């Protein structure tokens, strides 16, 4: 059976998880929810908490902090993207 509308698959789980997520009276988009999850922050995190967590993860995953080891580069990219999404949404 084909699930053309994504009712039963993993997309359905994402839709039900993000449904009802609000911040400052606005409903969060999937990208914003994923950004908060990537940074491991609650959806109601303040701008200073977001900045602090971003800086912490940046230091943790940056190759210069790891003796040039680039194994965490993908995680670093995800953290930077998450920060950009939240910044564009004016949560910072």
- pLDDT tens sequence across 16-25: 454 558 777 7
Q: At what angle do helices 30-38 and 10-18 cross, to 10 degrees?
A: 90
Confirm if 52 and 59 have CB atoms less than 8 A apart.
Answer: no
- Is residue 81 in some structural domain? yes
- Is residue 11 in some structural domain? no
- Is residue 12 in some structural domain? no
Q: Distance (Å, rounded) from C-alpha 89 to C-alpha 12?
A: 25
Residue 7: band (very low, low, confident or very high) from pLDDT cuts 50, 70, 90:
low
- Is residue 10 in some structural domain? no
Which range, of 1-10, 21-30, 72-81, averages the lowest pLDDT?
1-10
- Is residue 39 in some structural domain? yes
Range of the domain at 72: 27-88
Number of domains in the chain: 1
CA-nearest of 15, 58, 57 to 40 is 57
- pLDDT tens sequence across 35-77: 999 999 999 999 999 999 999 999 999 988 888 888 889 999 9
CATH of the domain at 60: 1.10.287.110
- pTM exceeds 0.85: no
pLDDT of residue 4: 62
Confirm if 68 and 24 have CB atoms less than 8 A apart.
Answer: no
């Amino acid at each position: 059976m084909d699930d053309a509308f994504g009712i039963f698959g993993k997309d359905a789980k994402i839709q039900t998880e993000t449904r009802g997520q609000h911040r400052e009276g606005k409903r969060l988009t999937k990208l914003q929810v994923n950004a908060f999850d990537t940074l491991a922050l609650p959806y109601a995190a303040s701008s200073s908490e977001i900045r602090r967590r971003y800086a912490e993860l940046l230091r943790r995953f940056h190759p210069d902090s790891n003796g040039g080891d680039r194994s965490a580069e993908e995680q670093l990219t995800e953290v930077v993207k998450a920060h950009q999404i939240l910044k564009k949404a004016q949560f910072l």
